[in-house]
Structure 1
Amino acid sequence: MKKYVALFLIAVTLLTLAACGSKDALAGTWSADLGDDGVITWTFNGKGKCTMENAYMKQDGTYTIDGDQLTVTLEAWSEPSTYTFSVDGSSLTMKENSGYGISGTFAKK
């Protein structure tokens, strides 16, 4: 019985250490020229904090990831925006789910 408990504890420890070392796929700085909206730059710190910047403003905020859903809350927004996102190498595609927000494909800087 002690063997099984020891193996279980080792497995839990390894899983915990693996989770601590992982970073989210968005970590880094991403930028795109979105035409009328100009150049938009997103910076995600990998720990739930973000910044969105364009020629007119720079806003700090927070974000969470749940599968392919990204929820962003910026300081000037009255409510969070949720995006469906994907990362393919050095490209981040974000599509705002309501259809009204900033959407596009961003290149990693």
Structure 2
Amino acid sequence: MTDKNIKVSDIEIKYTQIFINSKWHKATNVEEGTKADIDKAVEAAKKASEIKSIWCNYQPAERGNLLRKFANLFRRDVDYLSKLATLNGGEIINNSVGEVFASAACLDY
């Protein structure tokens, strides 16, 4: 479980890029992307909708296993993710912790 006496100011933001089309792209900063960033994301989304995703090659059981692994990463990194969510939204840390666990539960489902 998470430490109730954490200081959000202690969090280190590890990534300040935008993840588009399976690649990291330079972004203006962690708070905002540029018009060019949005254009890249829209273009990648259009291409993805036109081709068969590699995800289609996975059997349903394999997809479920991958999503559960992802959910477990949320649980493993609950402290970091909840601090990041608190920094982003300004809510209390206990709510952010709950959101991280709720997100993991959605992935499990």
TM-score (norm 1): 0.19
Q: Which has the larger radius of gyration?
A: 1
Larger strand fraction of residues: 1
